[in-house]
């Protein structure tokens, strides 16, 4: 098994269990460029298993999640249900509305980050924006994000440095929990909170999809 065939391993499980409804999530790049051929293989496999499948490109920022997280969802059924319609229009939630009271202090090894953040402007979204002004080199630090209070947080990844413009500190575990719409009492079992949330589908995103699937298909 390799990462390239994980989706088909998942579909092998579908073949064994034969659920009425299947929902699968992946990165939005899956439906772009050369990956389209891979998507066609997925769709064909769904059909071989007797499922009608629809593909939706959704942004968590319109689904009651304070994060601009674009993801692709494959939603399939083998019950001859009508076409599913998904139109989410929640008002965007800027980071300032969910920001925790205090961020995490930088260590003494992060002197460069501290210096760059001291030069941050309200238009900066990444440390790379500051580095470009200071050194002319825009190729560095573009994975180190700066969250502005008036903007929706960008996609939170499982790694990298995520900082707050508000107090020039690192994001706290509470920030990651809020941005990803995880339950406030969620038990991470000692695991890295950024990693867990960054690798997960935001619960509010999934809940909205599940509600529509129930209302349009199962409730009837």
* pLDDT score of 17 more than 80: yes
Distance CA 186, CA 201 (A): 14
For 101-144, what is each residue's pLDDT tens digit?
Answer: 999 999 988 888 888 899 999 999 999 899 888 888 777 777 89
At residue 4, the pLDDT reads 62
Sign for the pseudo-dihedral over CA of 130, 132, 134, 135? positive
* pLDDT score of 213 more than 70: yes
For 21-57, what is each residue's pLDDT tens digit?
Answer: 999 999 888 887 667 788 999 999 999 999 999 999 9
| pTM for the full predicted model | 0.91
Contact 172, 193 (CB under 8 A): no
């Amino acid at each position: 098994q390799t990462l390239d065939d994980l989706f088909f391993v998942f579909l092998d499980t579908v073949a064994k269990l034969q659920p009425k409804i299947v929902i699968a999530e992946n990165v939005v790049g899956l439906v772009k460029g050369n990956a389209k051929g891979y998507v066609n293989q997925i769709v064909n496999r769904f059909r071989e298993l007797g499922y009608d499948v629809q593909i939706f490109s959704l942004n968590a920022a319109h689904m009651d999640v304070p994060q601009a997280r674009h993801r692709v969802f494959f939603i399939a059924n083998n019950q001859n249900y009508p076409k599913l319609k998904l139109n989410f229009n929640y008002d965007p939630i800027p980071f300032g509305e969910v920001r925790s009271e205090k961020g995490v202090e930088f260590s003494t090894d992060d002197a460069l980050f501290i210096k760059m953040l001291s030069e941050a402007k309200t238009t900066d979204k990444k440390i790379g924006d500051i580095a470009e002004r200071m050194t002319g080199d825009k190729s560095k630090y573009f994975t180190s994000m700066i969250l502005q209070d008036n903007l929706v947080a960008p996609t939170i990844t499982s790694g990298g440095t995520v900082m707050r413009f508000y107090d020039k500190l690192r994001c706290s575990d509470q920030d990651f929990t809020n941005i990803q719409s995880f339950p406030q009492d969620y038990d991470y079992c000692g695991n890295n909170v950024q990693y867990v949330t960054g690798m997960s589908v935001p619960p509010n995103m999934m809940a909205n999809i599940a509600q529509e699937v129930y209302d349009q298909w199962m409730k009837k």
